[in-house]
Amino acid sequence: MTRRAAPSGRSLTKRDAAVVKAMLGRGDRQHDVAAWFGVNAGRIADIAAGRSFAEVEPVHGQLPPPGPYTHVREVYAALEVAEAALAAAKKLVASYPC
């Protein structure tokens, strides 16, 4: 028997949909747009096809940078490196006499 994962609880607002439409308009891939918002790519496809938020116009203004975006595991790896560097710096500073 297959089990479905619990819903993420993330949903898109009208403002989000306006940004989605603008990102798609500049040529971003639906997959990248979905990753930016943390939603299933099907929600972006629904907006692109006019099934959701059909009345919303694309936003005019600053958009997020074009994808692809850094994968979460890469962010965690960078965070571990930064934390190790901070710990080493604190140890170094503590070793100097004041």
**12-40 pLDDT per residue, tens:** 999 999 999 999 999 999 999 999 999 99
Give the pLDDT band of residue 53 (cuts 50, 70, 90): very high
Q: Are 52 and 13 in contact (CB under 8 A)?
A: no
Q: Are 44 and 50 in contact (CB under 8 A)?
A: no
- For position 97, what pLDDT does the model report? 80
Indicate if the pLDDT at residue 98 is higher than 80.
Answer: no
Higher pLDDT, 74 or 22: 22
Q: Alpha-carbon distance 85 to 98, whole Å?
A: 22
Helix (H) or strand (E) holding 2: none
Count of alpha carbons within 13 Å of 45, Cβ hemisphere only? 4
